[in-house]
Amino acid sequence: MSNPRTLLIVLLVAALAGCAALDEFVADVGRSLPGAVIRDASGRDTGETSRRNTDRNDTGRRGSGAPRRASSARGSPPPIFGDWWYVIPEPYKRASMPKTGDPCAAFPRFVYDRTEQYTPINVPGASHGGPSFVPSNPGSWRAACTARKLYEAGAPVAVLIRERNCPYPFNTNGRPTSPGEVRAMLDAVPRLDYLFMDLEPNGDATPRDVRRNVEAIVRMVRSHPNPRVSGAFIGNYNDWPGRSDPAKIWPNRRGRTRVSGVWDRDAFYRENLNVAMPVCYPYRVFSKHTEGRLQKGDTAPNSRAAIFWAPLARLSVAARDLPEGHLLIPWVTSYATGGTKGMRDTVYTAPPPPRADLEALIRHIRLRGAYSYYVWTPSAKRTHHPSIDHDAYTSLAMNAWRSLDPLFESGGPGRVLNLETDKTSGVQWSGMIVGDRVWVLVSNLGNRDGATVSLPSLPGLPARTPPVPRGVHRLFRWKLRG
């Protein structure tokens, strides 16, 4: 991650000239990020009256305004997770088991580059996409050897458990099941770093189906005699700490302590899991956040702002309430039309986010303390986005995430500057301090041009950011003094 640095000092001799120079520098953040540090760019008060992002948050507390320590200090850089079995190298899929000797010799050495590569994750057995660990299954050698090769390469060993390979299968609809998969996997892997679950109370499933499976899996892992297995990080889709979910479009369904009338999901997370996995998808249904009659409170200024604000607001609740030592790994995707069949054009109208919004959302997520992210797409080729397929989105997300790597080059823990959101203005900002570097990302998706945001009072930071044009994302960088 160490690259030669070029120092660029931007001197603002006039307000118009200064802002123009800054905008040009950060217009294409993906290309410009590995470059310079901006020192004290526009430290004066511009007189802009945009509001501070100190709205009451959805846990009923006000933000303190003080920097928060990021939860992402477990190694640099952390692994990035791609969905299903698609990221496994082709030689591992095609290899045949040798008739004699070590079956793992059929696999070439796995080369792991954590800065540029999605971490492979097996979704084992039950026709979920990956080979089963159950010894009676002919492909069990493939599952065990893949885990071993990842381990030998220094890559994380991770698995994903779904509704048909969990201990108590549900929503099977006549498809294969493998209830012994978790136990077999725990006994077969040399080490287990992450166990993720995608267990949801959808279709004919109930909250009980999810709860008893998660609890059983956690017991199996924590009681396993191999300490390199029992200490795994464990998370489940849409389970995260927080008593309310501001992203829900129905105000009376935002509480998380009595889901379906009985399920306290906040307590459930705290009792069982240590990886918070909020679903940070840009859902088409989020257009409803613009309707005052439905919201009975704050509304987003437009659908583009709504579909950007909602996943960020959800992530921020999880980040605020994240227990010490836990990881924040949200699920992300390019666009989600779920729940809108038959109503896509008339009831739920949030458009697919442009590429710049998707890149900015990933950067905001990282600047708010996310340790990593987990990509979901409906298949190995397509997404719900009409112009961004699976390969394009996974590449986009990786590049956006890694574009912030230079901020972390100095090492040490990061401190998150902001975990609030501003629904009504459509202007969101995130920032982080690492060492003496301060990076702040401002997204102006509201209806006003030239939005600025107030910054914490720190030596070397201006009182406000330079103006950001409407519909634009801008990254600013400063160096603290003293």
pLDDT tens for 189-198 read 999 999 999 9
> Mind listing the pLDDT tens digit for each residue in 428-479?
999 999 999 999 999 999 999 999 999 999 998 999 999 999 999 999 999 9
Mean pLDDT of 68-74: 42
Distance CA 60, CA 41 (A): 35
* Among the listed residues 65, 145, 143, the one whose alpha carbon sits nearest the alpha carbon of residue 105: 145
Mean pLDDT of 382-410: 92
**Residue predicted with more confidence, 417 or 1:** 417
Give residues with Cβ within 8 angstroms of 323, minimum separation 6: 241, 270, 274
Which fold would CATH assign to domain 72-416? TIM Barrel (3.20.20)
pLDDT confidence tier of residue 90, bands split at 50, 70 and 90: confident
Say whether pLDDT at 42 is over 60: no
The pLDDT of residue 234 = 98
Mean pLDDT of 316-337: 97
The pLDDT of residue 110 = 86
Say whether pLDDT at 125 is over 80: yes
Say whether pLDDT at 424 is over 90: yes
Distance CA 401, CA 375 (A): 12
By percentage, how much of the chain surpasses pLDDT 70? Answer: 81
SS3 category, 474: strand
Distance CA 63, CA 385 (A): 34
Mean pLDDT of 168-187: 97
Give residues with Cβ within 8 angstroms of 345, minimum separation 6: none
Say whether pLDDT at 32 is over 50: no
pLDDT confidence tier of residue 368, bands split at 50, 70 and 90: very high
Four-CA torsion 263, 265, 266, 268, nearest 10 degrees: 90
Instruction: Please give the C-alpha separations between residue 114 and each of 155, 291, 325, 372, 398, in angstroms, as whole numbers.
Output: 8, 43, 22, 12, 11
Q: Strands 233-236 and 158-161: what pairing?
A: unpaired
Average pLDDT, the chain: 83
The pLDDT of residue 463 = 96
Distance CA 249, CA 139 (A): 44
Distance CA 397, CA 436 (A): 27
Euclidean distance between the first and the last CA atom of the chain, given in angstroms as a whole number? 26
250's tokens:
């129905």
pTM score of the predicted model: 0.85
324's tokens:
């010490």
The pLDDT of residue 87 = 57
Distance CA 463, CA 7 (A): 23
Contact 171, 203 (CB under 8 A): yes
Write the burial class of residue 247 (CB in 10 Å: 0-12 exposed, 13-18 middle, 19+ buried).
buried
Distance CA 278, CA 284 (A): 17
The pLDDT of residue 86 = 54
> Mind listing the pLDDT tens digit for each residue in 136-163?
998 899 999 999 999 999 989 999 999 9
**Residue predicted with more confidence, 71 or 116:** 116
* Residue-range domain boundaries for the chain: 72-416
- Highest mean pLDDT range out of 118-132, 169-183, 334-348? 169-183
Q: How many CA atoms lie within 13 A of 84 on its CB side?
A: 12
The pLDDT of residue 212 = 98
The pLDDT of residue 413 = 84
Say whether pLDDT at 36 is over 50: no
